[in-house]
Chains A and B, each alone.
Chain A
Amino acid sequence: DQQVKQNSPSLSVQEGRISILNCDYTNSMFDYFLWYKKYPAEGPTFLISISSIKDKNEDGRFTVFLNKSAKHLSLHIVPSQPGDSAVYFCAASGGYGNKLVFGAGTILRVKS
């Protein structure tokens, strides 16, 4: 039972354009959401997060949007750069303890 789903295994975008990565969740107890970025042969690194009391959080080129009624969040990268090519994991937390539940990841390729 996947509580956090990233339905697009991969996404290809031209340099300079917008990248939109999507994530859906099923557990209404989740109250905090994070995006992590992972390069090959490295551990994931934290990118941006959002609390359930907000619907948008922005950090430079990265913006996360949360739609609680639809149980959907998205990560927008504008403008996309070749160095953004990586695997992006959506994660959610809430309820018991400090556990994060991760999605399967989306491979982003930014073409120059």
Chain B
Amino acid sequence: DVKVTQSSRYLVKRTGEKVFLECVQDMDHENMFWYRQDPGLGLRLIYFSYDVKMKEKGDIPEGYSVSREKKERFSLILESASTNQTSMYLCASSFSPYEQYFGPGTRLTVT
């Protein structure tokens, strides 16, 4: 049973703070992804990674960075949080080219 865990379910941060969101998967998947989900916009891809130490920009990478030092862990970093980054953040991992397994999400509020 694939398990993807995210470090926090709910997070409240102040504008300008540096924010770390962590994701861990236990299935030895090569691929990992970070999305944000906003009402009416669906899931939008922020960054993804096919292997350790590699990363690729998704559709909305501005204001974010990522780190993948170990295969099972993929971190999303908000360098200087802003109110427009208030959102639900979802991490996913996959082995096949298609089916992705999602974590429970982190609801981030930036005030």
- B-binding residues in A (CB < 8 A): 4, 6, 9, 32, 34, 36, 41-46, 49, 89, 91, 93, 97-105
Provide the residues of chain A in CB contact with B48, threshold 8 Å: 97-99
Instruction: Tell whether, in the assembled complex, residue A44 and residue B43 are in contact, meaning their CB atoms are under 8 Å apart.
Output: yes
State the main secondary structure of chain B at its contact with A: strand
In this complex, the member of A4, A9, A103, A105 whose beta carbon has the largest number of chain B beta carbons within 10 angstroms is: A105
Known A-B contacts A43-B4, A43-B103, A43-B105; the reply to A105 vs B42 at CB < 8 A is yes
- A-binding residues in B (CB < 8 A): 4, 9, 31, 33, 35, 40-45, 48, 50, 56, 58, 90, 92, 94, 97-105
Known A-B contacts A98-B31, A99-B45, A104-B42; the reply to A34 vs B99 at CB < 8 A is yes
A91–B9 alpha-carbon span in the complex (Å)? 24
| 7 smallest beta-carbon distances between A and B, as pairs | A43-B102, A104-B42, A102-B43, A102-B42, A98-B97, A44-B102, A43-B104
Smallest CB separation, B107 vs chain A (Å):
8
Provide the residues of chain B in CB contact with A41, threshold 8 Å: 9, 104-105
A91–B43 alpha-carbon span in the complex (Å)? 9
Please, could you name 26 A-B residue pairs with CB atoms under 8 Å apart, sorted by A? A9-B40, A32-B97, A42-B105, A43-B4, A43-B105, A45-B102, A49-B98, A49-B99, A91-B43, A93-B97, A97-B48, A97-B50, A97-B56, A97-B97, A98-B48, A98-B50, A98-B94, A98-B97, A99-B58, A100-B45, A101-B45, A102-B35, A102-B42, A102-B44, A104-B40, A105-B42
